[in-house]
């Protein structure tokens, strides 16, 4: 299984009494937001049980999709929200690899909660939403939300490590709240990996926005220059046209005058009397 190494690491972490490196739900460690800024990371795992479980992940930064990942096929659909160079970084490779591992872990644990339902051939889809937030006041928060058939069934708050059940989530809460491994995975992934991902993804998003702004400014400046250059050219062309028309008119008038003069002179000559000898 792709998540074997991931699970082994988490099992070691589960044996640790505390997590001194992680911020709690009211901490500021790892929160990169500048004063007045707020950022969020949403990872939605769509897990379908239909004989053979399938998992896809949609990732959003500040409400905008940056990735769609197919856990089963190990395929990433990359959106243009981030700069292309991010795909060549070790952080990005670790990010997508961990998404695959977490997808495997969630699929396995959800199957164990209600095997008669999730292992049947009747299609069942669950959404598991991991939300990490860096608020404008500098505080952080992280949580997991489990949704079945459009209804919230369970919420896990990473800061307090508390499960809150809703209709249909009783068995899930009962099984997981006493499972240190599951609780540790949810906590470590959200507060550790989640905050780390939020930090580097926002940085790359800002770089992309800066590059896009610079490109727009260049295009605008180029268009303005072209417009300013074109205006005198058009005015000059119009002036030349007017001069040509005036000169042509004058020439026509002169020629018409000469022809009229010649015509009058010829008529006078034809009417003059012959001289008598």
pLDDT tens for the chain, residues 1 to 277: 444 454 554 544 444 443 333 333 444 444 554 667 899 999 999 998 877 788 999 999 999 999 999 998 889 998 888 878 888 899 999 999 999 999 999 999 988 887 666 666 678 889 999 999 988 887 889 999 999 888 999 999 999 999 999 988 899 999 999 899 999 999 999 988 998 899 888 888 888 887 766 555 454 545 555 555 555 666 667 778 888 888 888 888 888 888 877 777 676 656 555 444 3
Count of CB atoms situated within 10 Å of the CB of 260: 10
The model carries a pTM of 0.68
Enclosing H/E stretch for 250: helix 195-271
Q: Which architecture, in CATH terms, is 4-217?
A: 2-Layer Sandwich (3.30)
**Sheet with strand 54-61: strands edge to edge:** 75-78, 64-70, 54-61, 39-49, 124-134, 140-148, 151-157, 162-165
Distance between CA 224 and CA 37 in Å, rounded? 33
Residues paired with residue 165 on neighbouring β-strands, in sequence order: 154
CA distance readout (Å), 240 to 245, 247, 252: 9, 11, 18
Distance between CA 9 and CA 27 in Å, rounded? 25
In the Cβ-directed half-sphere of 70, how many Cα atoms lie within 13 Å?
6
Token pair, residue 184, equals 């540790």
Could you state, in order of their start, the residue ranges of all structural domains in the chain?
4-217
Enclosing H/E stretch for 128: strand 124-134
């Amino acid at each position: 299984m792709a998540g074997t190494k991931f699970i082994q690491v988490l099992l070691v972490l589960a044996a640790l009494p505390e997590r001194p490196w992680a911020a709690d739900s009211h901490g500021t460690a790892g929160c990169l937001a500048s004063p007045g800024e707020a950022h969020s990371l949403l990872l939605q795992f769509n897990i379908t049980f239909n004989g053979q479980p399938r998992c896809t992940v949609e990732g959003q930064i500040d409400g905008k999709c940056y990735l769609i990942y197919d856990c089963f096929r190990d395929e990433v659909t990359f959106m243009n929200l981030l700069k292309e160079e991010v795909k060549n970084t070790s952080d990005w490779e670790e990010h997508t690899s961990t998404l695959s591992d977490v997808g495997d872990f969630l699929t396995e644990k959800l199957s164990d909660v209600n095997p008669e339902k999730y292992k049947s051939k009747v299609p069942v889809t669950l959404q598991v939403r991991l939300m990490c937030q860096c608020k404008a006041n500098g505080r952080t928060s992280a949580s997991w939300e489990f949704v079945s058939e459009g209804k919230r069934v369970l919420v896990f708050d990473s800061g307090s490590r508390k499960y809150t059940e809703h209709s249909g989530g009783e068995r899930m809460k009962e099984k997981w709240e006493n499972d240190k491994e599951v609780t540790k995975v949810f906590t470590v992934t959200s507060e550790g990996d989640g905050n780390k991902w939020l930090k580097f993804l926002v940085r790359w998003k800002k770089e992309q926005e800066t590059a896009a702004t610079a490109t727009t400014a260049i295009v605008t400046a180029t268009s303005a220059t072209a417009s300013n250059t074109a205006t005198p050219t058009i005015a000059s062309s119009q002036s030349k046209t007017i001069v040509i028309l005036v000169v042509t008119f004058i020439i026509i008038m002169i020629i018409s005058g000469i022809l009229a003069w010649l015509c009058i002179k010829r008529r006078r000559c034809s009417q003059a009397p012959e001289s008598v000898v």
